[in-house]
């Protein structure tokens, strides 16, 4: 899974933030609209994906170098989830190297 925050501006109408994850084997996007780009929204996405893939053994999350992708709060959430992984998928974090953001496949979904 790759997570992306896309922010679109439209003249004077305002803006929106879409938090999204791309499931690579089926090319399927899970998304919701957010008010901010922060750890709480990443945890919300992780919870959404845990519910969606409840029958999987592991959930691999890969993303860029944004600070909220590796915050203490997120790491605590992952540790807590993995401690009780007998009842939900185990989360594995696979961050992309900082100079290799072009590997973030979900960017192409939003940039065409």
Model confidence over 42-67: pLDDT tens digits?
999 999 999 999 999 999 998 887 88
- Number of folded domains that form the chain: 1
Residue 9: is its pLDDT beyond 80? Answer: no
Q: What percent of the chain has pLDDT over 70?
A: 85
Could you list the residue range(s) of the whole structural domain that residue 68 is in?
A: 2-111
Task: Report the alpha-carbon distance of residue 105 to residue 22 in Å, rounded.
Answer: 8
Q: What is the mean pLDDT of the segment spanning 24-44?
A: 93
**Cα dihedral sign, 11-29-109-17:** positive
The strand pairing partners of 74, in sequence order, are: none
Residue 20: is its pLDDT beyond 70? Answer: yes
Q: What is the mean pLDDT of the segment spanning 93-112?
A: 75
pLDDT digits (tens, 9 = 90+) for 66-97: 888 889 999 999 999 999 867 789 999 988 88
Global confidence as pTM: 0.80
CATH number of the domain encompassing residue 33: 3.30.420.10
Beta carbons within 10 angstroms of residue 54's beta carbon: 11
């Amino acid at each position: 899974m790759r997570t992306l925050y896309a922010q679109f501006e439209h003249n004077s109408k305002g803006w929106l933030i879409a938090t999204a994850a791309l499931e690579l084997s089926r090319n399927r996007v899970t998304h919701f609209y957010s008010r901010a780009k922060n750890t709480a929204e990443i945890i919300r996405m992780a919870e959404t994906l845990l519910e969606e893939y409840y029958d999987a053994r592991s959930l691999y999350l890969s993303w860029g170098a944004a600070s909220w992708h590796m915050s203490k709060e997120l790491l605590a959430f992952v540790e807590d989830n993995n401690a009780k992984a007998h009842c939900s998928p185990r989360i594995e974090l696979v961050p992309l190297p900082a100079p290799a953001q072009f590997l973030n496949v979900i960017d192409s979904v939003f940039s065409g």
